[in-house]
Chain A
Amino acid sequence: MKIELQNVKKAFNQGRSNELWAIRGVTTTLEPNRITCLKGASGSGKTTLLAMIGCLSRPTSGRIMLGERMLSGLPERFMTEFRRHTFGFIFQRLNLIPGLSTLDNIMLPAYPLAPRHHQLLASAQSLLEQFGITDKGNNPIEWLSGGEAQRVAICRALINNPQIIIADEPTANLDSRLSTEFMGLLERLRDLGKTVLITSHDPLVFDAPCIDRVIELRDGEIV
């Protein structure tokens, strides 16, 4: 399903003295089964736009359509449904929960869906296998290296088999080798039929051969 943005705007602290328009009218269409990179300097609005597309926040005005369905303006309950079923998130700081094991972190998004435990465990283990970290399943998350933790974050994003993967500055804390490896993983996701949206200001990312489209943002607008 394609994602359509129609004159999307987002203001923070609206009506106050410190009002800030982070997105100032973005209109574009994101094609399915592609890797699209939102490029731009810090403060250009990449994360804000990504958060709105991923139903993590609402636009101040404008529309975001997913296929025929309008995401903007949905009540919280429905936004949660979309976050749970349609989107998988890979955060900049990974946001894995410390103290839990690798497997528990991966299975976390599936808990509200209440699948049978053995099925859920099998899905998580199959993801660990796909990403080459089978032996790390029972390790606490703190024991993992940066690259391994990154893979766990991808596994968590995929546990509910979402159609769209959203990755916010995923290589910000990785060295060049791990960043290149990560881009390879994104390519595999696209090959599995997923749509990938990624933000970055790292040339290693937006110049990577697997990127299908780059959208440059500056001061909340598409350049």
Chain B
Amino acid sequence: MIALFRRQQYLLSYTLAAMLRRKGRNLALLFVYMLIIFVLASVMFLSHALIREAGIITAQSPEIIVQRMTAGRQALIPADYLERMGRLQGVNRREARLWANFHDAATHKNYTMRVDSHRELGDGEIIIGASMAKRLKVNPDDQLTLTSTHGEPYTFHVKGITTSPSELANAGLVLISAATFRRIFAVPPGYFSDIALSVPNPREVRTITEKLLKRLPDTRPILREEIQRTYDSIFAWRQGITFVLLVGAIFAFVIFAWDKANGLSSEERREIGILKAVGWETGDVLRMKFLEGLIISLCAFIAGCLGAYLHIFYASASLFEPILKGWSIFYPHFQIRPFIDGLQLATLFFFTVFPYTITTIIPIWRSAITDPDAVMR
């Protein structure tokens, strides 16, 4: 057993020495390989993290949102719609909500201003999301000025900071009192942005929607599952687009690996012949070359994934942001919370390290099973 272990040690030490002898070539290969893994892992990490963020948001949102439509556009909904809606079997909570998007003309950022009926806020007082506070370097009891598109400044007193499991929800959230909200957005009393309905039993959602449309024909019920589906398809589509763009790069890498594998240099073939002639078994040669491929693959995989992790979760995915986030969708800057799925990593490993190792080992095996007498000539 110890001899077997020692043998592997000798093989590994020879492999490392052999790799160092072809430093330039191996470093070039490692760099290209790492770049591919980096790009693929970045796309995967970002897409999955965004889908997860979207999942957290939709999980918190009500099952049905009722919006009033006028001339095909969303309009303010009168409070008496709650009465007109009547009693709906399966709905355990109804809430008329006030929310709006606020574009800060000074910083060109979008914020979501929302009235939270559970929080006591005075006129001009706000509670902001933790990541927004961090980004704007604002602390509780500070003053924060936001400028409307008309150039009118609004100065708020930051009463507190709120946290949310979703960084995305947190990024541009401003909680505000109803009075302040109505003043800023000129929403008359008795009108709201929409009505949220909580339906504990998901199987009742469709029936309730049908009843709603009969009782309030000028409204549009939006279902949580629809929002979820939209998010999923947006990110899946963007992920798909990026993958399509990457296909060329992936093919180039496959050709590169195949070429490297097939085009065993005469020096490498000679080395295999020498090793066999001096008593190495075909298995030893294969193990040595397998180790070589594995070391390159693993280094590239680990470095690529690590680079992608830092790129996505600490450098705000700066290379892919325009494609994957979409500037119009998530305009306020936000830092995605680190999230790694083991299955994702395993998939990436299977589709990169595994084929590379196999494509390189086959020609080496072909070369290693031939008689070593060629080295005599």
- The interface of chain A, by Cβ under 8 A from chain B, is 47-48, 50-51, 56-58, 76-77, 80, 83-85, 89, 91-92, 95, 97-100, 104, 108-109, 111-112, 114-117, 156, 160, 168
B271 and A160 form a contact (CB under 8 A): no
Please tell me if B278 contacts chain A, counting CB pairs below 8 Å.
yes
Chain B interface mostly: helix
B375 and A95 form a contact (CB under 8 A): yes
- The distance from the CB of B275 to the nearest CB of chain A, in whole angstroms, is 7
User: Nearest B residue to A85 by beta-carbon distance?
Assistant: B279
CA distance A97 to B18 in the complex (A): 9
Please tell me if B90 contacts chain A, counting CB pairs below 8 Å.
no
User: Nearest B residue to A159 by beta-carbon distance?
Assistant: B278
Q: Which of A48, A104, A109 contacts B279 (CB 8 A)?
A: A109
> 8 Å CB contacts to A: which residues of B1-59?
3-4, 6-7, 10-11, 14, 17-18, 20-21
CA distance A104 to B16 in the complex (A): 13
CA distance A97 to B277 in the complex (A): 13
User: Nearest A residue to B281 by beta-carbon distance?
Assistant: A80
CA distance A14 to B54 in the complex (A): 69
- The interface of chain B, by Cβ under 8 A from chain A, is 3-4, 6-7, 10-11, 14, 17-18, 20-21, 270-271, 273-282, 284, 369, 371-373, 375-377
CA distance A84 to B11 in the complex (A): 16
CA distance A83 to B274 in the complex (A): 11
A51 and B6 form a contact (CB under 8 A): no
A112 and B282 form a contact (CB under 8 A): no
B278 and A83 form a contact (CB under 8 A): yes
- The distance from the CB of A39 to the nearest CB of chain B, in whole angstroms, is 17
User: Nearest A residue to B375 by beta-carbon distance?
Assistant: A95
- Residues on A with beta carbons closer than 8 Å to the beta carbon of B21: 98-100
CA distance A84 to B270 in the complex (A): 18
Given A57-B373, A92-B376; A84-B17 close (CB under 8 Å):
no
- Residues on B with beta carbons closer than 8 Å to the beta carbon of A77: 281
Knowing that A47-B377, A99-B17, A116-B6 are A-B contacts, what are 19 other residue pairs whose CB atoms are under 8 Å apart, sorted by A's residue number? A56-B372, A57-B371, A58-B371, A80-B276, A80-B282, A85-B279, A89-B277, A89-B278, A91-B274, A91-B375, A95-B270, A95-B277, A99-B18, A108-B275, A109-B278, A109-B280, A111-B284, A115-B6, A117-B6
Q: Which of A51, A104, A116, A156 contacts B278 (CB 8 A)?
A: A156
Supply 23 A–B pairs (Cβ within 8 Å), ascending by A: A47-B377, A51-B371, A56-B372, A56-B375, A57-B371, A80-B276, A80-B280, A91-B375, A95-B270, A95-B273, A95-B277, A108-B14, A109-B278, A109-B279, A109-B280, A111-B7, A111-B14, A111-B280, A112-B7, A114-B6, A114-B10, A156-B278, A160-B279
